[in-house]
Chains A and B, each alone.
Chain A
Amino acid sequence: MSMIRTEHVSKKFGHLEVLKDVNLTVENGEVICIIGPSGAGKSTFLRSLNQLEMITGGKIYIEDELFLHREHDKTVESIDKEKHKALMLEMGMVFQHFNLFPHKTVLENLMLAPMTVKGKSQEEVEPLARQLLSEVGLSDKADVYPSKLSGGQKQRVAIARALAMQPKIMLFDEPTSALDPELVGEVLNVMKKLAEEGMTMLCVTHEMGFAREVADRVVFMADGIIMEEGKPEEMFNNPQNARTKQFLQSIL
């Protein structure tokens, strides 16, 4: 069973075609890193999976169910609202700029969505939230406001917040790009641990070391299409596509 499958996904901002024809399948428990030059449409692709961007055409399947089918900027087919909401909750997202809720404490950040969206009580949610905080190594920060945290700590809280909804898929949108270099490691460690636990992960990243070490598959995107995909060793040691070669040369 594939967790996510996209067919011919396209996205236009006015006349600018950001995604042209993206076809990707993510299997259960798979860790995929999407790499590529800026402006390739990596983030847009990730964001259109949980509908932060509305695609202009193509099909998205989640857990083999047709989640959305659009053509020419019109929705052709979509599942019913309840199902839609349930499938949306299967995806957790981590942003480049953390987007923590600044007016809530760390613990409240974790508990807010489970309580409001799933209607759970505080008693139900709090043990899980505290457990997640200890997993990301921030047990002592539970009652602190986000403004008092470092960038790395914020991103770890953001990961824990997404996990508090108990998603099956985690989407990471350049999670370390806004961090000071010395803080990158702590976030990557958390992600590595998550991958080892078997979480299905889709990461847009510039951390080639992380991609090489953790990813099951690496996807190279450029100009709104997937140029090449494959196992990390093959991709990094023996790229086939000329664009991939050029990109890897430029960054390594």
Chain B
Amino acid sequence: MKKVIAMLLASAMLCVSFVGCKGNDKQNNVSKSDTAAVDVSDVKFIKDGTLTVGMEIGYPPFEDKAENGEPVGYDVDLVYAVADKLGLEVNIVDTAFDVIFAGIGTNYDCVVSAVTITDERRENCLFSDPYIDSYQAVVIKKGSNIKIESLKDLSGKSVALQDATTSKALLEDMIETGTVKDCKMGPSEKVLTAFTALDNGEYDVVLCDSPVADTYLTNYPDKYELAFLDHENVEQFGVAMAKDNEALQTAINEAMAQLKDEGFFEDNTAKWFA
């Protein structure tokens, strides 16, 4: 009999502690969404209370790793600022760019990885409002006598660029349409490899996004110089999310609008691009 009573007591205590836990959790949630500037109660996340972000780390200054292995960069700061607005924790998942879009909705909620908004990509995912403008930049080795006045002048040149980027897509398109002729294209997996190949004299020019070019130009002023900035083909980076996740799109847009009003983007640009 005593045993039965003891067991009843124990199970009752267990129940109480469970209820207690739940209560605590709720309170936590409430307190969190209290501080959140944007309501995300109708958004479904991979992990509750966390914004899980897919990112290919290794594209400075947008994505890089600090020595302790933590992600740093323009996009990382943006992610934390947005998550702060949404009242969420951040979990960044390092993913290869080649398969980054395949994981949206299953492996992570959204992709923030210097993703250019294109019509082609729009068919498979939703994009937030653009958060940075980028142009195609042509970088040459310091002191080389190559003159580039428009992208057409890439004819007959060997061009180093990063694989699976809009720079490559644009150049391929121009080669196909005959705008550019006799152009040797050398795609590499990391943009740094392209710049090193240029420095080593293996290629004539590097074609890349202007923010990336800026970084290399500031960091190595004696190695590279800007040959041409293409203002015609404006590219805009956006946050990509699953096609059916309009609630997240709305929330992120709202958060970014608030950040814009607070001057976050000017600060972040100044922090990362000098």
Q: Please tell me whether chains A and B touch each other in their complex, using a CB distance cut-off of 8 A.
A: no
Which A residues are closer than 8 A to B by beta carbons?
none
